[in-house]
Structure 1
Amino acid sequence: MAVTTRRILLAIGGGIAAYKAADLCSKMAQAGYQVQVVTTHAATKFIGDATLAALSGRPVVHDGFDSRFPLGSHIELTRGIDAMVVAPATANLLSEFANGAASDLIGTLYLQNTRPVLLAPAMSDPMWNHPAVQRNIATLREDGCHFVGPEDGWLSCRVKGTGRMSEPADILCALESILPSSASESD
């Protein structure tokens, strides 16, 4: 029986925690996943394409109108995936997802995707605890999204609080817990 490689769409939002996404991408590749990275424009201010392409073995995608995908990036990139992981899932991305917005490629991918979604939030403590963000999280949970974190600890804004993105090993563990038990179940 042939083993099917699991395909993961890794969406990286524009927050300082994007640096951890490189380690997450590497850990997923080492675990045998085929990883396709997509980033927001803001994410490119925190982490470069060369790093992510080297770790995933594939070009990073940013644009919904990328000519490599004649049917549309959102359609072709979600075909055959086993899960979508968003790390860091910024307050902006959580809002877009919860409200069905498709203002960029990642929002469009989220709406096109029919496979499990794992969100790894990262933001400041006040943002995480804001009622609007908490409403969006409740909506996304109702919609079937899975969450890992955020954690308590030292934040990039130089204070301790809740909003730290979970460690890549913990995100990988959470991903493995939401995938179907065999690759044939994802077809």
Structure 2
Amino acid sequence: MTILNQKHILLGVTGGIAAYKSVELLRLLKKAGADVDVAMTEAALRFVGKTTFEVLSENPVITDLWEDSHGSVAHIDVAARCDAAVIAPATANCIAKLAHGLADDALTTTFLAVTAPVMICPAMNTHMYENIRVQRNLDVLEQDGIHILDPDTGSLACKTTGPGRLPDPRLIVDRMEHMLTPKDFVGKQVLVSAGPTLEPIDPVRYVSNHSSGKMGYAVARAAEMRGASVTLVTGSVSLDPPVGVETICVQTCQDMADTMLSKMAHADIIIQVAAVADFRPDHRETLKIKKTSDQDRMTLTLVQNPDILRTMGERKRPGQFLVGFAAETHDLAANAVKKIKKKNLDMIAANLVGGKDAGFQTDTNKMTLFFKDGSKTDIPLMDKQAVAHVLLDNLLTRLDPRG
């Protein structure tokens, strides 16, 4: 489960064409386990009906300060219990009111009573968004500690092109998780590798493995959520880069070695999650290898690739924390402990592959963390994002405070 699980979230919806996206945002917040209260302006009701939000949120929607609240002040109660609040979309009018402390409707009155973290997601015509007065109001809110999520750039409903689109609701949820995640990795430079490497045989064929990159991406995302400056070096995967992470795409083991070794000097923590091919073809054909009519087999000669993790272990400076991953099919503990010593690691995350719930291509994982002092920690089966946070929790307790 995400950090939004069992959190009380206040969702504000104002009168912009992007209000329809707020329905999807509400659905995603509920899917993440949040309890959501919704406050809407009168203009928002002209775009999306109140009933839609009430059904999806399973809570009454605040639209009128004068509605019967059975003896309580509903909007104050909602503001007091929320753990975080977001306005999406936020119009120029709403932004101006909040920047100047105006409270003339249910939404602005409710949000002025919020003491939890608040995110504003501006969405409007490009020229309105770029207007110096709107930008000044956003600056005021940001200086007051409000989180501002910049709008996307693209074609708008008003036929203009430029900044002003409400970001994808998935991004809004991601940044809300970031807003609520404790920042215990602030000041740390984290270098992560992920995915498989591809070793070309000819222009259309290659040697690789089944790694999806999901575990490495989860680790990079978790570190960024916790305040680290993260660089992700990734092989070829079908995943969107984590928000706020410097992402460098590579293909071969040599590519990954060159990039990781060039970046490691500035890293405090290095987490090598990538499933690097141990071998590569000794020769890459420049043209596609054609099958002949009398051919029933082909011999492929492989040579050993550079051992990136071992080289990093040899170059590791005092204070750096080096983590390896081991995907094993047998003798998990023996192989992991051997690798810690052989490659000068501080920690290794080892798991057995081949099961349907853990390892390559899955959304869940379970593993055992082995440490150079001989201790170990078992991580039970859970979502890979949760596994990543448990891994970072264990890593954090073992960092050299002088590093």
The question of a shared fold, defined as TM-score above 0.5 by the shorter chain, is answered with yes
Higher-strand-fraction structure: 2
Q: Tell me, what secondary structure is at the counterpart of 2:60? A: coil
Higher-helix-fraction structure: 1
The 4+ residue runs of structure 1 with deviation greater than 3 A are none
- In 1: Cα distance, 2:176 partner to 2:59 partner: 20
Q: 1:66 corresponds to which residue?
A: 67
Structure ranking higher on relative contact order (CA contacts 8 Å, 6+ apart) = 1
User: Is contact 1:14–1:45 with CA below 8 Å preserved after alignment?
Assistant: yes
Q: Does 1:120 align with 2:127?
A: no
**Larger radius of gyration, structure 1 or 2?**
2
Change (3 A) 1:69 1:37: farther
The residue type equivalent to 1:114 in the other structure is T
Q: What's the offset of the Cα at 1:73?
A: 2.7
- In 2: Cα distance, 1:70 partner to 1:94 partner: 31
Q: Does 1:77 align with 2:96?
A: no
User: Is contact 1:65–1:73 with CA below 8 Å preserved after alignment?
Assistant: no
- In 1: Cα distance, 2:83 partner to 2:77 partner: 14
The residue type equivalent to 2:96 in the other structure is S
Q: What's the offset of the Cα at 1:59?
A: 2.0
Q: Tell me, what secondary structure is at the counterpart of 2:59? A: coil
Q: 1:43 corresponds to which residue?
A: 44
Q: What percent of counterpart residues are identical?
A: 39
Change (3 A) 1:47 1:70: same
Q: Deviations over 1:101-144 (max 9, x none)?
A: 00111111121110000111100001001011011000000000
Q: Tell me, what secondary structure is at the counterpart of 1:166? A: coil
Q: What's the offset of the Cα at 1:12?
A: 0.2
Change (3 A) 1:18 1:180: same
Q: Deviations over 1:50-80 (max 9, x none)?
A: 2111211112110112212633233111122
User: Is contact 1:63–1:73 with CA below 8 Å preserved after alignment?
Assistant: no
User: Is contact 1:66–1:72 with CA below 8 Å preserved after alignment?
Assistant: no
Cα-Cα RMSD: 1.5
Change (3 A) 1:34 1:155: same
Q: Tell me, what secondary structure is at the counterpart of 1:123? A: coil
Stretches of structure 1 lacking an aligned partner (at least 5 in a row): 182-187
The residue type equivalent to 2:28 in the other structure is K
Q: Give the TM-score normalised by the residue count of structure 2.
A: 0.43
The residue type equivalent to 2:163 in the other structure is T
Q: 2:298 corresponds to which residue?
A: none
Q: Give the TM-score normalised by the residue count of structure 1.
A: 0.91
